[in-house]
Structure 1
Amino acid sequence: MTDTPNVTDDRPSVLVPLEVLEGETLPDGVGELLENAHVILLGYHVLPDQTPPEQARLQFEDRAQRKLREFEKTLTDVGATVERRLVFTHSEQQTLNRILAEHDCHAVLVPNACEPPEDVLVAVRGTVGVDRIGRLVAGLFAGTGVTVTLYHGLESTETIEDAETFLDGIADRLVDRGVALDSIEQLVDEADGGVDRIATVAEEYDAVVMGESDPSVVTFVFGMPSKQVAERFLGPVLVVQRSHDAIE
């Protein structure tokens, strides 16, 4: 079932997947983090192979929808727009990939609780996805007073000057999209910017934005670096997705 609002503004779309029948909830602070987003609120439940989705829907839909409506209200009360989806599935990966493709989501949220965000770490590696990172970060945080720290760990062939030039280009994109220059900071790390290092740096921040570095979207989100960061970091992680066309 889908509830589609009249979306009149150009908000970045963020997928928020929750296993509602397994007790997964919308953590505190996520509403404030996503107040400027268009949220695809996905409630899903993975079924045993022998259970028909239609049977599960008859049995569990009312309970699941009640929970989703509560989460939807939390988001809309702070200003987000929301599309609500409920899926009973035999394949978590196929379902999430399908929803991501249908909505061409800019990012997926790995939800953890947070305070209303004041400082956000944006970890960037290569140039793939930089446009979508800029769109997401500016869409969520332009004009909010949130400090955005662009973080890049040096790769083997890079110099500090290379990294600074790279981050300057991203900062210019953010300014062009309405982010105040004095709210952007830059952090070049001479250590490799891998998962463990990002998690360590992220301890000082309220939330993390990081790019998808694996073409397999769901494998990345739920089994690869972003999930590893979320397990080490108490705040939420936004994983910026490549456009659907780019991963086909």
Structure 2
Amino acid sequence: MQDGPSILMPIRVLEGESIPEGVPELLTNAHVVLLGYHVVPDQTATDQARSQYEDQAIRRLDDFTAILEHAGATVESQLVFTHDGQRTIDRMTTEHDCLAVLIPNATRPLEDLLVAVRGIVGIDRFVRLVSGLLVTTDVNVTLYHVAEENETDEDVETLLDGIAARLSEQGVSPELIDIRISREGGPREMIVDAADNYDAIVMGESDPSVTTFLFGMTADQVAKQFLGPVFVVQHAEPDEDEETDTE
């Protein structure tokens, strides 16, 4: 078992995607499951695509692996030719027990991290991810919650103070942890607005599938508008229905 938090980083390996600037340094303390995947048309067999493109894809994955390892991460690479990229990401996240999926937008050196907390579900994963990423660093952490109408400030403060205490127990300096509560607007819009002063975001998925965040409207509203890296913490295991990729 790896010491660092396990993070899935999906890359469309044959479509020109690469590892953006600043991301390798962000993952210095992580165990990265580097998923190179290529979505094959339904009428094309995955084995056929693999035989045609595997060597090229492996060369790119090897280059990406070397970049991440040079920054200090441990890396486990996987190459998948699939008819369904979303299900592939879900399945790999589960199989490798990844704490989060990374949307690897470019970033400057990490100084300020926004952790958007939606509730008590998945808090253990939040704590393990943040403390694991930030070990031996002096990164400022803001625990941020958009309160609902039925939540009192006292309830939210109790929640966030509890997370702060757990992060401190895991080695994050209390002096580096701040708490922020908002009551105006929807959670997605507020997170985007709050993120302007931060270098990366940690947030939980809003439904059982991580891929809704990666490929749906939330990605457009947060990852694209923020333009920095977003760690999406998986709260619940995705559907166990397996696909039949060749790997």
Contact 2:143 2:178 in 1 (8 A): yes
Give the structure 2 partner of residue 101 of structure 1.
Answer: 94
Q: Is the 8 Å Cα contact of residues 106 and 243 (structure 1) preserved in structure 2?
A: no
> Separation in 1 of the partners of 2:133 and 2:185?
27
Name the counterpart of 1:90. 83
Q: Deviations over 1:83-127 (max 9, x none)?
A: 001101111122111111111110001111001211000000110
Asked whether the 8 Å contact 2:101–2:210 carries over to 1, the reply is: no
What is the SS of the residue equivalent to 2:197? Answer: coil
Describe how 1:110-189 pairs up with structure 2 within 5 A.
110-189=103-182
User: Residues 25-104 of structure 1: matches in 2 within 5 Å?
Assistant: 25-104=18-97
Q: Does 1:231 align with 2:218?
A: no
Partners of 2:79 and 2:97 in 1: how far apart? Answer: 18
Q: Does 1:211 align with 2:204?
A: yes
Q: Quick one: distance in 1 between partners of 2:167 and 2:215?
A: 28
Question: In 2, Cα distance between the equivalents of 1:170 and 1:226?
Answer: 25
Aligned identity (percent) is: 57
2:180 paired with 1:220:
no
The Cα offsets for residues 6-47 of structure 1, whole Å up to 9 and x where unpaired, read as: x6x421110000101111111111111111110000010001
Separation in 1 of the partners of 2:88 and 2:225?
A: 26
Which has the larger displacement, 33-42 or 226-235?
226-235
Residue 196 of structure 1 pairs with residue 196 of structure 2: no
Stretches (4+) displaced over 4 A: none
Alignment deviations for residues 43-78 of structure 1 (CA, whole Å, 9 cap, x no partner): 100011111111111111111111111111111011
Aligned residues: 240
Q: TM-score normalised to the size of structure 2? A: 0.93
Shift of 1:227: 4.6
Note the residue ranges of structure 2 that are not aligned, 5 or more in a row.
Answer: 241-247
Measured at CA, do residues 126 and 151 of structure 1 come closer, stay the same or move farther in structure 2, by a change above 3 Å? same
Give TM-score scaled by structure 1 length.
Answer: 0.92
Cross-structure match for 1:3: none
Contact 2:38 2:81 in 1 (8 A): yes
Residues 63-72 or 212-221, more deviating: 212-221
SS of aligned partner of 2:80: strand
Alpha carbons 1:152, 1:193 under 8 Å: kept: no
1:4 maps to none
The SS at the match of 1:28 is coil
Q: Answer yes or no: is the 8 Å Cα contact 1:110–1:237 preserved in 2.
A: yes
Distance 1:118 1:135 in 2: 19
